[in-house]
Structure 1
Amino acid sequence: MNSLTDRTPVVRRRTPLNRSQIAGFWGAWAGWTLDGMDSFIYALVLTPALTELLPRSGYAATPANVGLAGSILFALFLVGWGLSFIWGPLADRFGRTKVLAGTIFTFAIFTGLAATSHNVWELAIYRFIAGVGIGGEWALAGTYVAEAWPEDRRKMGAGYLQTGYYAGFFLAAALNYTIGVHYGWRAMFLTGAVPVVVAILVLLRVKESEKWQKAEAGTVRAKPLREILGPAYRRRTWVACILLTIAIIGLWAGAVYEPSAVIQLATKAGMAKNDAIRTASLATGLLSIATILGCLALPPLAERIGRKKTLAIYFLGMAVAIVGSFGWAFYLPNGLAPFIAWLCVLGFFGGNFALFSLWLPEQFETRVRATAFAFCTSFGRFVGAGVNFLLGAAVLHMHTLGLPVALTAVAFIVGLFVIPFAPETKGEVLPQ
């Protein structure tokens, strides 16, 4: 009997999620989805919005001016993202859910207000403040899911959560394909006010994570920002900042300029304006689906081969995909189809952001976790703002979109040399 019992396979069951954990995840996921939708709306309506607003601001709506103004406005948006590190210490002090709802309120209201813009200056202000709200959502949603979900499920939870942002890309593309084409860019920004409803639901339905409550009850009040930059955390903080900076530079270079590149290629292929816009929306949808697949594939791979090797694979894939799409396919005589095919590859490896949702919470204790997450992501956005401004200037100077974007692949090669300095947390539980 004993021998038969010994040979009986042990079935491991995952810890079931309770109602609060399920509600909390969907609240965080919905906020992150609408965050992605709001942030990508700008990329989709960039050309029509600036074509209307530049003349009202005293500038000719030439392709060069549209490109330069678009880059400047997006750089300001990223600066707003960078300032979102203020949400981290607030979340470590007052809790994840209240501050998460605050970030959603902020980006929703000011995205909606962008629809009322009379000139580029008003649009810039609204997008800047919306950026402050959007930038905080990822850090707080990622921190909440990592703390609220049971240990044996939180890794896949990070992958599931990250799909929300790219589902938002897909949603923005679908809205642009329907509402944007027929009702214009102002209607697109108005749809960005919808997340206010999600913020209210988060406040009413989502309970605070037990890990934060326990840490709050037993912690002497400290300064989390000073702690993550102190001797105990300094190295991992700055390494994470560098890796996130590289990811942000590459993703936004590819994602933000993708609609404009597809529109140019579609127009070159002889498509009418509305058909070119629809093609850009379809390409964005494919990019989003590919990135969602990349997010879902990442956690099992990270559990199997480790966090550092997984990030190296995704970074290398991003470098190849950016060169293949913007450096090669963009310049082909009939490059639309090859460019879109390369976008799918770029999208899959763009799922590298899911690793940070999984990995960053594992590197910091609960009392400083939200601050660390927000600081590392914000640092990358500040640098990304500067790179985006330089990228716009390069596009203006070189009179081409493809080559300047393709050069951002260099950042991912640099990242391959930085990854070894990061801590490997495979097999470790979330630190309390």
Structure 2
Amino acid sequence: MPTTLDRQISATRATKTPLNRSQITGFWGAWAGWTLDGMDSFIYALVLAPALTELLPRSGYEATPANVGLAGSILFALFLVGWGLSFIWGPLADRFGRTKVLAATIFTFAIFTGLAATSHTVWELGIYRFFAGVGIGGEWALAGTYVAEAWPEDRRKMGAGYLQTGYYAGFFLAAALNYTIGAAFGWRAMFLVGLFPVVVSIMVLLRVKETDKWERSESVQPHVKHESSLKAIFNAQYRKRTIVAAVLLTVAIIGLWAGAVYEPSAVVQLATKAGMDKHDAARMASIATGLLSIGTIIGCLALPPMAEKIGRRKTLAVYFVGMAASIALAFGWAFYLPNGLVPFIALLFVLGFFGGNFALFSLWLPEQFETRVRATAFAFCTSVGRFFGAIVNFGIGAMVLNMKTLGVPIAITAVAFLIGLAVIPFAPETKGQELPN
């Protein structure tokens, strides 16, 4: 029979620290930015074929399927390089605070997303996507850092899961827009959409109070913080953590982006083979993307409780195994079935669920670094993964061109998760630890 003390402990555990208005407003501002970030990132995948079909001839190239695939890979790699350069935002956030720099990243990717609608050549589109990538890349690190620092200790783990759903809600929003606006008005209208909702997010963030943790760190050791945030993540204390986290994020980015970016093209091919016309095939790609997004949102929400129960490392291992299996089966098996559309889309939902592994990094990375270098470490580790993701994307494009098929090159990226499984034991287990000051 439970004692009075037992009941008090249970009540304490059941009662979470209430969020104040600034914490709530700040979260929704960060979430909205992360949603628009996901929407912007996936717009390109959805409009890849029609945009390049129009722009390649204007750039002096024939719009063959092979040229569309190669140009698409090159432009996406440029986007990832811009995304990789986004590590510049981390030191700025450690120097000037989280909220204003976060608003600056959102403003940057919104402007260049809108400009992409004015592209006359493939090269112009590549330039706009490069600078949009610089802005987009900083949003994840700064949003994750803000929520980790602003939310109470007993809420921040689930906060990471909630925040990460925004990115995939953006995927779902992009799919819905492509199903409606894109189908009716074309690819340029899709890019223009990215200009408008972002204003709300920026206005919210500019009104949000800076995190107490950053303000305390700023007042206690400003000279150390300002001079050494980038160098500090490679000192004896943090070097191993930085390298291991960067490797794990590289694995996650290579695997998920290979699958997510080429998923619409794969669905279009399978739908066409199933007898659908061009219009219906494009709509089917939007439906499949929505299903992928729903799966990922569920995966993001399921991850924090699992990480609290079995630990960060075991949770990431489970999600990496799921990613490896679903990518290999979807692109290496279902894609080549005579009637592969239905099993391929079903596997996309599974791929989406385990793609929620990114939520773990929003939870885990802030726990590994102290406040004065937290944003820098987060931004650097995510940026490294994007640079390698760009290199791999070039390789995938070349394989697609040479092999004349989409499925096998994407299926091969499942190997990256096996490498990740070997690296996970070298990461620190932070289950049960509070966010360091």
Fold-level similarity (TM above 0.5): yes
Partner of 1:26 in structure 2?
28
Contact in 2 for aligned 1:108/1:195 (Cα 8 Å): no
Partner of 1:210 in structure 2?
212
The structure-2 alpha-carbon separation of the partners of 1:296 and 1:206, relative to structure 1 and needing over 3 Å to count, comes to same
Q: 2:70 corresponds to which letter in structure 1?
A: L
State the identity %. Answer: 80
Do structure 1's residue 226 and structure 2's residue 258 form an aligned pair?
Answer: no
Contact in 2 for aligned 1:104/1:195 (Cα 8 Å): no
Do structure 1's residue 379 and structure 2's residue 393 form an aligned pair?
Answer: no
After TM superposition, give the deviation of residue 198 of structure 1 in Å: 2.9
What do the CA deviations read for 1:9-57 (whole angstroms, capped 9, x no partner)? 5412100000000000000000000000001000000000000000000
Partner of 1:327 in structure 2?
332
Match among 261, 268, 273 for residue 266 of structure 2: 261
Q: Distance in 2 between matches of 1:124 and 1:7?
A: 61
Match among 28, 37, 59 for residue 35 of structure 1: 37
Q: 1:150 corresponds to which letter in structure 2?
A: P
What do the CA deviations read for 1:274-308 (whole angstroms, capped 9, x no partner)? 10000000000000000000000000000000000
Alignment of 1:22-421 (within 5 A): 22-221=24-223, 222-421=227-426
> Is the partner of 1:11 in helix, strand or coil?
helix
After TM superposition, give the deviation of residue 4 of structure 1 in Å: 6.4
Contact in 1 for aligned 2:106/2:202 (Cα 8 Å): no
Q: Distance in 1 between matches of 2:77 and 2:6?
A: 62
Contact in 1 for aligned 2:217/2:371 (Cα 8 Å): yes
Q: Distance in 2 between matches of 1:253 and 1:19?
A: 39
Contact in 1 for aligned 2:87/2:138 (Cα 8 Å): yes
Unmatched tracts of structure 1, length 5 or more:
none
Scaled by the length of structure 1, the TM-score of the pair is: 0.98
> Is the partner of 1:77 in helix, strand or coil?
helix
After TM superposition, give the deviation of residue 204 of structure 1 in Å: 3.4
Q: Distance in 1 between matches of 2:3 and 2:161?
A: 39
After TM superposition, give the deviation of residue 229 of structure 1 in Å: 1.1
Q: 2:332 corresponds to which letter in structure 1?
A: G
Q: Alignment length, in residue pairs?
A: 430
- Runs of 4+ off more than 3 Å: 3-10
Partner of 1:11 in structure 2?
11
> Is the partner of 1:223 in helix, strand or coil?
helix
Unmatched tracts of structure 2, length 5 or more:
none
Q: Distance in 2 between matches of 1:388 and 1:7?
A: 55
After TM superposition, give the deviation of residue 155 of structure 1 in Å: 0.1
After TM superposition, give the deviation of residue 223 of structure 1 in Å: 1.3
Q: Which moved more, 1:406-415 or 1:190-199?
A: 190-199
Q: 2:150 corresponds to which letter in structure 1?
A: A
CA root-mean-square deviation: 1.0
Q: 2:315 corresponds to which letter in structure 1?
A: T
After TM superposition, give the deviation of residue 125 of structure 1 in Å: 0.4
What do the CA deviations read for 1:214-253 (whole angstroms, capped 9, x no partner)? 0001114231110001111000000000000000000100
Q: Which moved more, 1:215-224 or 1:110-119?
A: 215-224
> Is the partner of 2:409 in helix, strand or coil?
helix
> Is the partner of 1:116 in helix, strand or coil?
coil
Q: Distance in 2 between matches of 1:354 and 1:198?
A: 24
The structure-2 alpha-carbon separation of the partners of 1:377 and 1:4, relative to structure 1 and needing over 3 Å to count, comes to closer
Q: Distance in 1 between matches of 2:107 and 2:5?
A: 56
Q: 2:346 corresponds to which letter in structure 1?
A: A
After TM superposition, give the deviation of residue 6 of structure 1 in Å: 4.8
After TM superposition, give the deviation of residue 7 of structure 1 in Å: 6.2
